[in-house]
Amino acid sequence: LLLNASRKTVSALAFSPDGKLVVTGENGHCPAVRVWDVEERAQISELHGHKHGVTCVTFSPCAEYLVSVGHRHDRVVNVWDWKKGTLVASNKVSCRVTAVAFSEEGFFVTAGQRHVKFWFLDSARELKVKETVPLLGRSGLLGGLHDNVFCGVACGGGGTLGSTFCVTRSGLLCLFNRRRVLEKWIGLKVSLATCVCVGEELVFCGCDNGTVRIFQAQDLRYLGDLPKPHPLGVDVTRAPQPR
């Protein structure tokens, strides 16, 4: 249990890669991005750079930086050096963003309404100046899927390093290559998709009705579904009642 003393609604949450830290974003006037120590259950950093609310947050692979994205009335993408409490880089987005993911290769990706964008931090310039620098962003080449709402994004690692995976709300799994080109997409055969998670070999897609579909990361080959969770209120330690 983490006690948020500001009493503002927590609108976004993400763990650091090692699981020792949690970053949260808030809704409301002058919302904060807060970093928490999981073991100590204490806040260790508080960052202010959004006006109306935070839609999504994430850590960089080494947890040195974190990214926060404002909601539809804010639409600011901020990169923070959270240990120093400084804003490293920032830029605006014109579309509503619903998800963000950081790649091991140093860039991060935002996804949203008709939007998949790859962001690059100019490290050389960052070292030369001690003020916030503009983020460099390049749009993904969406081809015929430019009218979709991309609601989940994940960056590959290991054998899939350089690949980016997205899901659309309408139920499509998309693969972008290193050149930001939509290389392949497949239908999940569901009415709604919500999120995506990727490992070195597998991709997991969260869909409606508790469905989680598993695919091979290299070629998006369908492998199967995870067992659905028990309904709320069911005690799994007890034997089922005879019908």
pLDDT of residue 124: 44
| Token reading at 34 | 């807060």
With 90 as the cut, is the pLDDT of residue 193 above it? yes
Does the pLDDT at position 233 exceed 70? yes
| Whole-number pLDDT of residue 238 | 77
Query: Which two tokens mark 140?
Result: 């993904």
**Average pLDDT of every residue of the chain:** 90
Mean pLDDT of 200-222: 94
Q: Give the residue-averaged pLDDT of 54-83.
A: 93
The model's pLDDT over 23-38, given as tens digits with 9 standing for 90+, comes to 999 998 889 999 999 9
Q: What are phi and psi of 38, to 5 degrees?
A: -65, -45
| Band (127; pLDDT cuts 50, 70, 90) | very low
**Bridge-partner residues for 213, per DSSP?**
205, 225
- Checking if the pLDDT of 243 tops 70, the result is no
Predicted TM-score (pTM) of the model is 0.88
Give the Cα-Cα-Cα angle 179, 182, 184 (nearest 5 degrees): 125
User: Is 131:122 a contact under the CB 8 Å cutoff?
Assistant: no
CB atoms within 10 A of CB 238: 7
